[in-house]
Amino acid sequence: MRIIQLTDSHIGRAGETPLGIDVRAHFRQVIESAVSHDPDLIIHTGDICLKEPTEEAYRWTADVLNECGLQDKIIGVPGNHDEVIQFAIMLDLEGQIKYSDQAELYYQYELDTQAYDLILLDSSSKAISTNQLSWFRNALKEYQKPKLILCVHHPPILCSVRYMDQHHRLENGLELMKIIEEYQDLEIDIFCGHYHVEKTIRYSMNINVHITPSSYVQISHDAPGFVLDHSRPGYRVIDLIDDCMMTYVVYID
């Protein structure tokens, strides 16, 4: 089965070109390229909106997905620039919203493979809530397959991307990793966005963290401030063949 991960679309107002980028054109290019890979499933790991969430950005994104026939193939989790309910409505995931202090979108998603299922966590508040952590703890206790794909907008560990690690890291990544680390026999691949870089970190014998580039722009790994690296839009292909995973990033020139 083939999964495509899209992330950090950052759609602004119509005609807006942040950093000189036609963000909507970038998103269309990524979607068209993704379709040519014939995916079984697309996962958007958050930040549909540029800064403040707007209804129009979600409506425009939903229209593009519809035009490309992807409405039934896409799931996702929101980022810190998303409004959870609008994000869920866009992807027909209202049934997965959990209501406690705030609305959150986290859930398990069954894949048609022997080895893997998906768990998607909501870090749109820049942390994983206490309710969510206890749901995740229980989900792992009941988890049946030998391998797991975990999707969350923020990487839960430091990633040697100076500006993002210092200013925009997940606030309670350590708490999440403490839960994950109890499962040393479970092979876990964590797919994130948020950092606007491409990177895979072999965290331990059984845990890999993959950061996927944005469809907007990518930033420098080393600079102390926000410095552009390049503006080629990117996305990730994840192929699951029997119990094996192959993953790579595609950029559009």
Report the interface residues with Fe ion, using CB under 5 A: 47, 79-80, 194
Q: C-beta of 184: minimal distance to Fe ion in Å?
A: 30
Are 53 and 78 within 8 A, CB to CB? no
User: Is 29 within 8 Å of 65 (Cβ atoms)?
Assistant: no
| Shortest distance (Å) from residue 10 CB to Fe ion | 9
- Closest to Fe ion by CB, 60 vs 195, is 195
Q: 57 burial class (0-12, 13-18, 19+ CB within 10 angstroms)?
A: buried
Classified as helix, coil or strand, 237 is strand
User: How many C-beta atoms surround the C-beta of residue 10 within 10 A?
Assistant: 24
Residue 106: CB minimum distance to Fe ion, A = 16
Helix/strand/coil for 215: coil
**In angstroms, what CA-CA distances link 10 with 18, 23, 95?**
10, 7, 25
CA–CA distance, 2 with 47 (Å, rounded to integer): 23
Nearer to Fe ion, 229 or 239 (CB): 229
The residue number with the shortest CB distance to Fe ion is: 194
CB of 70 to Fe ion, least distance (A): 22
Residue 177 to residue 246: CA distance in whole angstroms: 23
Q: In the complex with Fe ion, which residue's Cβ is closer, 31 or 49?
A: 49
Length of the chain: 253
Closest CB to Fe ion among residues 79, 233:
79
Shortest distance, position 126 Cβ to Fe ion, whole Å? 9
Decide whether 58 or 116 has the Cβ nearer to Fe ion.
Answer: 58
CB-CB neighbours of 250 under 10 Å: 17
How many Cβ atoms are within 10 Å of 113's Cβ, its own excluded?
16
Residue 194 or 236 having the CB closest to Fe ion: 194
Least separation in angstroms between residue 81's CB and Fe ion is: 6
